[in-house]
Amino acid sequence: MFTRINWRHFDWPLLLVVLLLSAIGVAVIYSATRNSPDLVDYWQRQVNFILIGLGVLFFVAMLDYRQLSLLAIPAFLTFVASLVVVYFVGEAQGGSRSWINVGGTLVQPTEAGKFLLIIFLAWYLSWFKEGLHRLPYLLMALLFLLAPLVLVYIQPDFGMAITYAFMGGVLILAAGVRYRHLALLVGGALLALPFFAATLQGYMLARICIFLPTDDEGHIIPPILNLLRAAFDTLPTECIQPEANTAASYNVDQALIAIGNGGLTGLGWAQGTQNQLLFLRVRHTDFIFSVIAEELGMIGASFILLLLLFVVWRVLRIAERAPDQFGKLLATGVAALIFFQIVVNVGMNLKIMPVTGLTLPFISYGGSSLISMMFAIGLAESVAMRHRKIEFF
């Protein structure tokens, strides 16, 4: 799977920005954990994760991405089989049965599944490129997407399920579908909404209720509350009682306070009150953006968002220059994944999206999330390094 390649085609600006974002992440993690004895070494762990991630990035970049098409079917079947195993004998953590115990080590198939799904859909949509104008081929692509999506949704892992749905939708659109088929898909999705709403579990609905508009007393405004009551037999207390809603939205409210405290220029690195006084929970993972906004201000937070969007743009540029449809869709899937996690993470910090547990790419603490993002960049770099014919010496 290795080929002799010309490193001049490697996207060095993309790598440099990824490294800069990772370094910023280490600094912010240090600030977020310095007053927590049990977390004080997390910034050092993150440095180790970066080094491992770089190794993964370069290893994947040196692989010829075209050879991955040979693994698409067996890898996808293995992924779906692992989700079935999780359903029957998986172990629960954080209210979600998402883990398999392998020799005493807990493994979460859904993290690697993001990339297996990208690789498989990119292979299918490129292999049957000429047939996608016919509805049966498109429906088959949706069926392949729904299999892991449903298995993840019933774990339940709402955040990962919508991530899969977004990635799959972007890849199908990028592959090219007829407008009338697209209209049929949208209509089908609308018809499926009542079924989807009926299967929402209590904690999912509670998270949705947290960011719905309320009146002065903290009650969800009557028209929306009436719609919820008509759609669901029972509502969680977070949707009905203001005090329960306030308790459930504590993290989001503290994040908003932190962002407001930062103002234009911020309070200074390691000087944020919500952060340093520990009012803000999970500040080194889900709500790290609010730490950035409080300590670096709107200017610093905007700069970091621009860096993240630069990464998305460079990956989309790689997709545009890809030598084949498979490479184009691989890079497009990577860009969709990174973009979606940025939007959702920042959105939940700003209380405009439900809390889903998705991390801020390259910045939030966590080995699995950081290494998986490095893997994603490695996939994009593999496509970039082969945007022309391979040069043999």
Predicted confidence (pLDDT) per residue in 62-85, tens digit = 988 888 888 899 989 998 998 888
Q: What distance lies between CA 161 and its chain's CA centroid?
A: 10
Q: Extract the tokens encoding 108.
A: 């979460």
Spatial neighbors of 162 by CB under 8 A, at least 6 apart, are 344, 356
Contact 143, 104 (CB under 8 A): no
Indicate the pLDDT class of residue 317, thresholds 50, 70 and 90.
very high
Contacts 24+ apart (CB under 8 A), 80-85: 80/147, 80/148, 80/151, 82/109, 82/113, 83/109, 83/110, 83/113, 83/148, 83/151, 83/152, 84/151
Q: Extract the tokens encoding 179.
A: 């407008």
- Confidence check: pLDDT of 242 > 70: no
Q: Which of 27, 23, 29, 20 is nearest to 365 (CA)?
A: 29
Mean pLDDT check: name the lowest of 268-272, 288-292, 332-336, 342-346.
Answer: 268-272
Contact 367, 111 (CB under 8 A): no
Dist CA 330 CA 388 (whole Å) = 16
Contact 24, 363 (CB under 8 A): yes
More confident of the two residues 388 and 368? 368
What pLDDT is stored for residue 392 in this prediction?
36
Spatial neighbors of 289 by CB under 8 A, at least 6 apart, are 255, 301, 345, 346, 349, 360, 363
3-state secondary structure of 101: strand
Q: How far is CA 379 from CA 10, 128, 328, in A?
A: 12, 22, 11
Q: Extract the tokens encoding 390.
A: 């391979």
Radius of gyration of the chain (CA): 22
Q: b/e for 300-331, b at 16 or more Cβ within 10 A?
A: bbeebeebbebbbebbbbbbebbebbbbbbbb
* Average pLDDT of the segment spanning 15-19: 96
Q: Which of 372, 350, 387 is nearest to 108 (CA)?
A: 372
What pLDDT is stored for residue 391 in this prediction?
41
Q: Extract the tokens encoding 233.
A: 């037999």
Phi, psi (deg, nearest 5) at residue 249: -95, 15
Contact 114, 337 (CB under 8 A): yes
Q: How far is CA 124 from CA 66, 95, 105, in A?
A: 13, 34, 33
Indicate the pLDDT class of residue 39, thresholds 50, 70 and 90.
confident
3-state secondary structure of 125: helix
Average pLDDT over the chain, rounded to an integer: 82
Mean pLDDT check: name the lowest of 110-124, 225-239, 265-279, 305-319.
Answer: 225-239
Q: Supply the pTM of this predicted model.
A: 0.86
* Average pLDDT of the segment spanning 257-270: 86
Indicate the pLDDT class of residue 196, thresholds 50, 70 and 90.
low
- Confidence check: pLDDT of 118 > 50: yes
Dist CA 336 CA 36 (whole Å) = 35
What pLDDT is stored for residue 218 in this prediction?
64
More confident of the two residues 47 and 204? 47
- Confidence check: pLDDT of 253 > 70: yes
Contact 195, 353 (CB under 8 A): no
